[in-house]
Structure 1
Amino acid sequence: MSFLSSMDISASGMTAQRLRLDVASENIANMETTRTESGGSYKRKTVILESAESGSFRKALQKAAGVVATAVADEEAGFEPVYNPDHPDADENGYVQMPNISLIKETVDSMSATRSYEANITAFNAMKTMAQKALEIGK
C-alpha cells in the first residue's frame, strides 16, 4: 500500500457517508408522502456499502481498499396503516398506508454518518500532515 493511498481510502469514506446523509435527509423529507410517481406510499431507502476491493484480508492490507456505495435500495418493510378517512389516499375502510419511517432512526443514521465523515476528515488531515512533515525532513 502506498503512503498517499490512505487519502483515497478516507476520500471514499467521506463520499459514502455523504450519500448516507443525503438518503437519511430524503427519508425524513418524505415521512408523510403517500403518493409517489411509481404509485403508493414512499418506501424508506437505505445505502448498501461494500469494500471497494474484494478478496482476502491479507490482500486488503497490502492494497488500499476504501468503500463504495453499491446501491440505494428500497426497504421492503410494510407500511403503517393510519386511520384518516378524510385523506384523499384513504382506502374503503378509511386507512392510509403511511411510510414506515422513524424520525428517531433517521436522526441516529444522520448522526452516525456525520461522525464517520468527521473521522475520515481527521484521518485525511493526519495523512496530509505526515506528508508535509516528510517533505520537510528532505530539506
Structure 2
Amino acid sequence: MSDLMKTLALSASGMQAQSTRLRHVSENIANADTPGYRRKTMRFEQMVTGGELTGQVKPGPVSLDQRALERVFDPGHPLADENGHYDGSNVDLVVEIADAREAQRSYEANLKMFDQARQMTSSLLDLLRR
C-alpha cells in the first residue's frame, strides 16, 4: 500500500510542477509584445526527504532569459530612442508553444499515472473488504 501512495505523491508532484511551468509559459506568451520583457524560465528540482531522494519534483527558482532583447524600429513609439529604436522582448512564440505542448503532455502523463494508481488502490481496498 505504501508504494501506491508514493506513486500518487510522485505523479501529483509532477502535475504541480508542470502546472507551474505552463503558467510561466502563458505569461511569456501574453507578454511577447511587451517592450523590455524578458522570457521567464524555470527548472525542476528533486525533492529530498530525510536526506534521500524521493523521486518527486518541485518547481525551482524562476530566472530571466539573458539573451539580448530584440531591437525594434518604430520612430513613432513613445519608448523609441533618437534613432527610432526601442527594446522589444526576447520571447520566441515558436519556442513557447513547443514548451506549452511539452508541459501539457507531461501533465497528462502524470495524470494518467495518478489515475492508474488511484484505481489500483481502490481495487486493493475492495479486495481487503471481502
- The superposition leaves residues 10-55 of structure 1 with CA deviations (integer Å, 9 ceiling, x where unpaired) of 1111111011111011001111111xxxxxx11100112111128x
Paired letter, 2:17: A
C-alpha RMSD of the superposition:
1.9
CA distance in 2, matches of 1:77, 1:9: 34
Q: Does 1:28 align with 2:29?
A: yes
CA distance in 2, matches of 1:47, 1:15: 13
Match of 1:52 in 2: 47
User: TM-score, structure 2 length as denominator?
Assistant: 0.91
Q: Which one of 73, 82, 86 corresponds to residue 83 of structure 1? A: 73
Paired letter, 1:13: G
Q: Which one of 86, 107, 125 corresponds to residue 96 of structure 1? A: 86
Identity among equivalent positions (%) equals 39
Give the CA deviation at 1:111. 0.5
Show structure 2 runs of 5+ residues with no match.
Answer: none
CA distance in 1, matches of 2:8, 2:39: 32
Aligned positions, number:
128
Q: Which one of 122, 125, 128 corresponds to residue 118 of structure 2? A: 128
Show structure 1 runs of 5+ residues with no match.
Answer: 35-40
User: TM-score, structure 1 length as denominator?
Assistant: 0.85
CA distance in 2, matches of 1:18, 1:69: 9
Give the CA deviation at 1:2. 2.7
Q: Does 1:5 align with 2:2?
A: no
Match of 2:95 in 1: 105
CA distance in 2, matches of 1:108, 1:53: 30
CA distance in 1, matches of 2:23, 2:85: 30
